[in-house]
Amino acid sequence: MIALAFFISIIRMATPLVFASLGGMFSERSGVINIALEGIMLFGAFTAAFVSLSMGKELGFVAGGLGGMSLALIYGLIVIHGRANQIVAGTAINLLAMGLIPLFLKSLYDSTGGTPSLSMDQRFSNLPILFMIIALAGAWFVMKKTSFGLNVSVAGENPEALDAAGISVILVRYQSLAVCGLLAGFGGASLSLFLASGYTRNMVAGRGFMALAALIFGKWKPVPTFLACILFGAFEAVQIRLQGAEGIPPEFLQILPYLATVLVLAGFVGKAVAPKVIGIPWKR
């Protein structure tokens, strides 16, 4: 029973990560680096909590996705039409989310610390896990079996070929970013409506970057990425268990996901090859 409970706690921990890294997959496979995942999740977490407070958790969850999507599309506008450097723009989006949300909180609730706590029926007990599984299956299916998935991956691999086939690279990238924002926003929503009860300041706490790490660890493919999230979720769950206990300092568990990612990126544990034209704005 303890093992089962522990397993469930791992899955819970992994849920926001899975959403975000699947979102990141769409963006990066289409050729857009996304270090803005952190800010997109944050914004999703905030909008979800805000809507859930007044209109219920279901709409709150959807709002989280839409909030994330809107920020991702702003990011898209900056890097696709504006052709801005994606690292700079991603950093800027993270700052934007970190700066805007407290301003909204202040004028909505007169506190910069977070939203008021959600009541039991304003938050989920287990449903987001199911949503997450559906998202995973959907992402796999889309990438493997549909024309959209093909277009996304060609946009990140050989955009000239996509253009030659008469498909707009720019449109495909916007679509990918929309999907990315939706999923990462759901990731944020599952933080504020599921793992916690309400939005608290900077509650994403590096999970966006960890999702990015999982994506690389999973070599930009849905199922391996999912497994990487589970692994990272396990590190997190173990670390929470160990808190206060003597022995291994929790900091060492904390670094495992990042260390693992560095190792896989360096090809010490299988080689991760990024989409070919990732980071390069499209120009005919």
Partner 1 sequence: MSNLSPVIEAKNLSKAFGSFYANENISFSIPKGEILGIIGENGAGKSTLMKMLYGQLRPTSGQIHIDGKETSLTSPRDAIARGIGMVHQHFMLAENHSALENIILALGIASFRLMPHKSVRKRLEKLCSEFGISVDLEKPVGELSVGQQQSIEILKLLYLDSNLLIFDEPTAVLSPNEIENFFTILRGLREAGKTIVVISHKLKEILSISDRVIVLRHGKIVAERTTKETNLGELADLMVGAHFERREVIASNLSAATTVFEVKDLSSIESDSRLKKISFRVREGEILGIAGVEGNGQSELIRALMNPIKYRAKGEITFCEKNVSAYSTLELRSLGMSILPENRIKEAVILDWSSRDNFLLGHQNKKEFIKNSWIQEQALGEKALAAYKEYDLRPLSLTHHLSEFSGGNQQKIVVARELWNQPKFIIAAHPTRGVDIGAIERIHLAIQDVKKQKGSVLLISSDLDELFRLSDRLLVICGGLVRGSFTKGEFSEEKVGRLMGGGQT
Partner 2 sequence: MKDALLKTLAGLIFGFLGAALISWIVGESPLFVMKVMFESAFGSVYNFGLSLFYATPLIFTGLSVAIAFHAGLFNIGAEGQLALGALAATCFALWFPSLSPWLGIPLALLFGAIIGGFWGWIAGWLKEKRGSHEVITTIMLNFIAAAIVSWLVTKVYQSPIVQSPETAEISEHYFIQERDPLYQIFDGAPISIALLFAIGLAIGVWVLLFKTKLGFEIRALGKSESTAEVSGISSSKVRQIAMFLAGACASFVSFAEIIGSAGKYRLGFSPEYGFMGIAVALLARNNPIGILFSAFLFGALHKGAADLDIETEFVTRDLSLVIQSLILIAVAIAIEWKKGRRA
Q: Which spans of this chain sit near partner 2 (rule: CB under 8 A)?
A: 33, 35, 78, 82-85, 87-89, 91-96, 98-104, 106-107, 112, 206, 209-210, 212-213, 216, 249, 251-252, 254-255, 258-259, 261-262, 265-268, 274, 281, 283
Q: Tokens 């839409």 belong to which residue?
A: 66
**Backbone region of residue 155 per phi and psi (left: phi > 0; alpha: psi in -120 to 50; beta: other values):** alpha
Contact 135, 22 (CB under 8 A): yes
Does 224 bind partner 1 (CB under 8 A)? Our answer is no
95 binds, among partner 2, partner 1, none (CB under 5 to 8 A by kind): partner 2
Name which of partner 1, partner 2, none residue 107 binds, using a CB cut-off of 5 to 8 Å depending on partner kind. partner 2
What is the number of other CB atoms lying within 10 angstroms of the CB of residue 107? 8
Nearer to partner 2, 138 or 250 (CB): 250
Among 154, 189, 234, 253, the residue binding partner 1 under the rule CB under 8 A is: 154
User: Of these partners, partner 1, partner 2, none, which one is at the site of residue 243 (CB under 5 to 8 Å by kind)?
Assistant: none
Please choose, out of 59-67, 86-94, 160-168, 256-264, the segment that lies near partner 1 by the rule CB under 8 A: 160-168
HSE-CB of 215 using CA atoms within 13 angstroms: 27
The amino acid at residue 136 is: L
When asked if residue 91 is in the footprint of partner 1 (CB under 8 A), the reply is: no
Task: Please answer whether residues 24 and 184 qualify as being in contact, where contact means their C-beta atoms are separated by less than 8 angstroms.
Answer: yes
Q: Residue 259 carries which DSSP code?
A: H
